[in-house]
Every structure is written in structure tokens, then in C-alpha cells.
Structure 1
Amino acid sequence: MAEIQLRNLSKRWGNFVGVDKFDLTIADREFLVLLGPSGCGKTTTMRMIAGLETATEGDILIDGKRVNDLEPKDRDISMVFQSYGLYPNMNVFENIRFPLKVRKIDPATHKDRVMRAAEMVELEPFLHRKPAELSGGQRQRVALARAIVREPNAFLMDEPLSNLDAKLRVSTRAQIKNLSHELKVTTVYVTHDQIEAMTLADRVVVMEKGVIQQVGSPTEIYDRPANTFVASFIGNPAMNLIDGEIQDGTFRCARTEIASLTGANGPVTLGFRAEDAQVVESGGQITAPVYTMELLGDASMISVRIGGALVSVKAHKDFRIEIDEPVSIAVPSEICHLFDRKTGARIGA
């Protein structure tokens, strides 16, 4: 097992900063997700942990030992990539077995270890097949089994579900969650998909432009985003964000007036979640014509335009309204989040 410490870790290419002063301890057996948009530095951070990229500054420690100068093969870490990286000439059994052969592990143990790994990802019926005879989901499970068979100190997973269709993504995500529970191995998982982060992680690190924006449990990040970037990145739909002004405890902007807000005066960005507001018959804090209505199955999503922002609220699944009809939305002060208009930082605890 392994605790991974990243100390003031940076990666630069000339003047371009890929990762900037990344400082974090990943606990033994923790499932940590690095989350952010393309180009935010999450994969670069993971590749530095693996030894596939050289850190410009800072230290990487695994169980207290500095590993910056160790080759990837000497860090006792298994990786699962976005591309499956399977050997087309080998069947599933041999693909899973390959890391044991490379590391010269006692051949007498190979069959038992391969079968145990295959069983964990439900591949026993496919061990004789070549990769070309497998579906995308099955190939990804071979890649997972190949990582598991080594029994490493840590797993590094780089967007392993991004090549799968929506249905396979859900089932494979559940499998990874179950494997994490069974294996109890430190795991660093990279994704741009906030649903994967919310469902898999013990802790989430939200990154933008190489900088950590917030670290916390999925619940903490969802309920109390540290800034407008996190608020806009986490959630489906993302948190509604409206620019306006607070005077004497009342937030105002076009078609919106929300009273009983404390902790700020002057220009702010106000946020609230679509599921926390309600469509009401009259007297809501927002009154505006409907911009769109979408049927989601379990709810109806109503959107209106407030200033330059598109604001969404979830209504009952049977609710119906036409575009351009006026709608009233209740936004109680207790569901609102306030952010500094200039910096985007959260205002208040």
C-alpha cells in the first residue's frame, strides 16, 4: 500500500506552465480523482507521479521515499490508460499475464493470479479471445485486469472510460467502484467527467490552468464550491451564476430580487442549484419568459435568461409550459451562494 506526497510539484515547458506548485498528500488506500477541463494539468500531474514526465520543480514521495529519479518500472505503480494498449497477437490470458512475465515473477504463480484478476472483472469466459474479438468494454476490463494482476502499491487511471458509450460507462464505472472497495489500493484517477468524480472519489481535486482550485469530498465540493469556476464545473446542470448587486441585504439584477442576504455589499455573483429552486404560480424572486423547456424523464428543466446568464430550474416531471410564457421561480435566500465578482472566490463560510 502507498501514501503519495506531492510537494510543490511544477511542470513547465519554456514559458508555458502545465502544473503550478501542486501540493497534496494522497492517503494510503484513498481513491483520489483529479478533475478539470482539457489542458488543466491533471494528466501531466499523474504522468509525473508515474515517472513518464520529469518534474521541473518539487518532490514526489511514495511511502516517504523520494522517487523523482526512479524509472517508472521501479515505482511499483500500475497504469490504466484511455487507450487500452493491448497486444493484438496475444489472447486475453496472455495480455493479463504479460506484466508478471516482464517483472520475472515466479511462473508457478501466474495462472492463479491471472484467474483471480480475470474473475474480479468478469472476464473468465473470454480468456481465449484476442483483443479484436472483444467489445470496447471488455477490452477496458482486460486493461484493468492487467493492472490488478501485478498487485501494485498504487493504481493510476487516465480517463479509462472516455472511449466507452454511455451505457458501458455506467457499468464499468460501477465495476471500478467495486474493485476499489475490494482491493483497497491507493488510486489516482484522472477525468474531465464530473459524474465520474462525484461517484468514484473519496476526495476530488478540481484543477484549472495547472492550479488546484479546491480539494474536498464530492459532497463538500458540490455543496460549498470554493469559487465560480468550481461552481460552474460541478453539477449537471452546473450551478446557476447571476451577476448583480447587493444593497441593504437585497440582491438585484434584471427580473431578479432576492432579499435577506448577508455578508456582502456591492457587485457580486449569486449562485444556486437548479434542484434547490422551485417553479411557483406567482410571487417568486425571479420572473421571466421561458427560454427553453427540456423533458429529462424524472423532471422537467426550465430555463430563463437573466441578464447575460441562462438560469435553469428543475420542475416536476409533469410540468409543461410553452417557450416565451412567463414563469415565476422561487429562490429562497438560504439556498444562495455568493461569490466575489472580480476574483470569483466564495464569500462567507
Structure 2
Amino acid sequence: MARLQLKNVNKRWGSFVGVDNFDLDIADQEFLVLLGPSGCGKSTTMRMIAGLEDVTEGEIWLGDRMVNNLEPKDRDISMVFQSYGLYPNLSVYENIRFPLRVRKVPKEKHRDMVMKAIEMVELQDFMDRRPAELSGGQRQRVALGRAIVRKPTVFLMDEPLSNLDAKLRVSTRAQIKNLQSKLKTTTVYVTHDQIEAMTLADRVVVMNAGKIQQVGTPTEIYDTPANTFVASFIGSPAMNLVEGKLEKGVFQGDGIHVEGLPAGPSGNVTLGFRAEDAEIVEDQGQIAAPMYSIELLGEASMITWRLGGALVSIKTNKEYRAEIGDIVHARIPASICHLFDTASGERIDDR
């Protein structure tokens, strides 16, 4: 069983807090993604799981063992790095075989184990090549093969796609998802790319400034963000956020007026809504303001206004035409809106 538990884990360097009270239970065979901006503590959390960083406070459990004081080699964890970490003088076959040699797996088992890993990452035609003769995507697949060859209890993946171009990221992402489904191995994956998180994860942990902001399925994170940080970090484009005042269910901000919201809260709030949930209309909308920009995205057009200090965008059909500066109307139903406390950023649930 590869249940992984982090119990109130902290990491400090002097007065600087890198990870603050990280508490999480990761289920056996779960694909968990740590998501957040650079410096948020996600890679530090992964390195503590791997044993590459010491835990300042708290406990890390793998199955029924607390592993805080175990050396990395004794934790039965495989890690895939952003930089591939391949041996340039070894072939693909020997790079993938290397973990078996280090762990003194009987030699008679090597070929069968290595060939199974090579087949899983689809490198049969490249097994005699060296890393310099491979593309970036192929090198990353060698790194994946090396991680899976010895069937570890847990996979750790630290931004493994960040060195690949956009097309390779898409295909390698699909391969990672397929591999994890076949291997059924508990996986912790670190990224700053919210598209990777949303497409790969069973659950996403959104982090900022060393703290967990929200834990949930991709759908939960997207549909009900816990605060304005999560709302602004998840989605492409991010959720529109407009500050204003709410009184008796009526929100009023610069250039935007929405009625029919929950009557309970009042005062300064931040209104949020997704670009795809609102729509452009001919007149009588909740927004009526000069268009700031129009962008053709291929399958749709993106209309943007500047409302006070905020840029607000809505997707519409790709045939829509207007000129910058034209007054454009948008309908924003109260049912699609999210409310956040402006001071704290926390979600207001009153419906």
C-alpha cells in the first residue's frame, strides 16, 4: 500500500518559512498535483517527501512507516526531474537499467525489466542511442522509463515537461497520464502550469507562499475556488475579478451592475465570473462599456473591457466583430457569479 501522509509538515531556513503547516493525506494510487507559482513551496514539499530536504517539523508517512529519518535510497521512491538527469555516455537501455544496477537487482532479471519499461515509454527503436542523439521529448521518456523500471512505491515528478515545446508537452502529458493509469502507482507531480494540473490530476493542491490554499478535484478547484488567489490562478483566462459594493443582493462596481445576488452579505466584495459563462448581447447588459481589445482565439473571440482597475474578458463566437472603443454590452447572470470578501480574499458562500 502506497498511502502517503504529510502531517503538519514545516520547512524553515532561519526566519524564512518555505512550507507552512502542510497537512495532507494522499491515497494509494492517487495522482496528486502540487500547483502554484515559483517560490510557493511545492518543490520543497516534494524534496522533503524524497528525503532531499530535512523536515523542520512534522511527519511524513509512507504506508505504515514514518520516513523522516530514512535516506532517500531507503524510501522506495523514484523521482523524475525537470533536467532529465541522464548519463550522457550511456545508451537509452543502460540509462534505464542503471537503477537496477545500483540496487543490486539480480542481473538475470535486468533485461526483462528494462525491456518492459522501454516498451511502456515507446523507445524500442532508440534503445541503443545516447541522450545527445535524442529529442527533448525522447529524453524525458528515458527519464520516465528509468523511474518506472524498478516499480517504486511512489513516483515524484518535478516539472518534467517545462523544458519541452508546446506540442511535445501535450503528447508527453498524455503519455504520463496513460502510464500512471497502467502502473497504478501513487504519484505526486509538481507544476506551475495550471493546464497540466487540470488535465493530469485526480486532486490538485494549490499552494502560495508556503501554504495550502485549496485541495480538491480539478472540477472543484475550477468551479468553486476557495479564494481570489485560486480564482486568479486557475483557468485560461483566469476568473474575472471586479471589486465593488454589495447591498441587498445588488453589486455595483465600475462599469458593472449585477442584481439577484445573495442578499445576506453586504459591503465591499469582489465579484468573480468566468469568461465562458457570460455572453455578449446587443443591449441591456450588466456591462455596457467601451471595448478595450478583441482577440481571435481560433474557436472563439475574446472581448476585453477595462472596468476601473480591472481587465474583464468574455468569450464570444469567432465571427463577432467590433472596433476598439465601441460600446459593447454583456449579460452576466447572477447564477454564474462568485463572491469573495475583498479584505481577506476568502470565498463568501451564502446561497
> Smaller-chain TM-score range?
over 0.9
What do residues 262-312 of structure 1 show as CA deviations (whole Å, max 9, x unaligned)? 131111000000000000011110111111111100100000011100000
What do residues 1-45 of structure 1 show as CA deviations (whole Å, max 9, x unaligned)? 410000010000011000000000100000000000000000000
Mapped partners of 2:237, 2:297: distance in 1: 12
Amino acid at match of 1:295: L
Amino acid at match of 1:184: K
1:322 deviates by: 1.2
Which deviates the most, 319-328 or 46-55?
319-328
State the match for 1:32 in structure 2: 32
Mapped partners of 1:301, 1:264: distance in 2: 32
SS across alignment from 1:96 = helix
Residue 293, structure 1, aligned to residue 294, structure 2: yes
Amino acid at match of 1:111: R
SS across alignment from 1:40 = coil
State the match for 2:307 in structure 1: 306
SS across alignment from 1:104 = coil
Amino acid at match of 1:321: A
Mapped partners of 2:123, 2:339: distance in 1: 50
Amino acid at match of 2:156: L
Amino acid at match of 1:40: C
Percent of paired sites with the same residue: 70
SS across alignment from 1:125 = helix
Amino acid at match of 1:8: N
Residue 141, structure 1, aligned to residue 137, structure 2: no
What do residues 155-185 of structure 1 show as CA deviations (whole Å, max 9, x unaligned)? 0000000000000000000000100110000
1:255 deviates by: 1.4
Mapped partners of 1:171, 1:180: distance in 2: 15
1:106 deviates by: 1.0
What do residues 33-64 of structure 1 show as CA deviations (whole Å, max 9, x unaligned)? 00000000000000000000001000000002
State the match for 1:170 in structure 2: 170
1:254 deviates by: 1.5
What CA RMSD, in Å, does the superposition of the two structures yield over aligned residues? 0.6
Amino acid at match of 2:287: I
Mapped partners of 2:177, 2:318: distance in 1: 30
Mapped partners of 2:321, 2:155: distance in 1: 48
Amino acid at match of 1:109: K
State the match for 1:82 in structure 2: 82
Superposition pairs of residues 31-110 of structure 1, within 5 angstroms: 31-110=31-110
Amino acid at match of 2:304: S
SS across alignment from 1:252 = strand
Mapped partners of 1:92, 1:248: distance in 2: 66
Residue 341, structure 1, aligned to residue 342, structure 2: yes
SS across alignment from 1:323 = coil
Mapped partners of 2:25, 2:247: distance in 1: 42
Superposition pairs of residues 181-200 of structure 1, within 5 angstroms: 181-200=181-200
Mapped partners of 1:294, 1:108: distance in 2: 60
State the match for 1:11 in structure 2: 11
TM-score, normalising length: structure 2: 0.99
**Number of residue-to-residue matches in the alignment:** 349
SS across alignment from 1:146 = helix
State the match for 1:272 in structure 2: 273
Mapped partners of 1:84, 1:271: distance in 2: 40
Mapped partners of 1:247, 1:9: distance in 2: 42
Mapped partners of 2:42, 2:73: distance in 1: 21
1:247 deviates by: 1.3
SS across alignment from 2:114 = helix
State the match for 2:116 in structure 1: 116
SS across alignment from 1:98 = helix
Mapped partners of 1:206, 1:163: distance in 2: 22
Amino acid at match of 2:292: Y
Mapped partners of 1:24, 1:133: distance in 2: 41
State the match for 1:230 in structure 2: 230
Mapped partners of 1:217, 1:64: distance in 2: 26
1:321 deviates by: 1.3
1:318 deviates by: 1.1
- Deviating above 6 A after TM superposition, structure 1's stretches of 4 or more consecutive aligned residues are none
Amino acid at match of 2:30: E
Superposition pairs of residues 321-332 of structure 1, within 5 angstroms: 321-332=322-333
Amino acid at match of 1:117: A
Mapped partners of 1:322, 1:82: distance in 2: 44
Mapped partners of 1:95, 1:186: distance in 2: 23
1:248 deviates by: 1.8
SS across alignment from 2:94 = helix
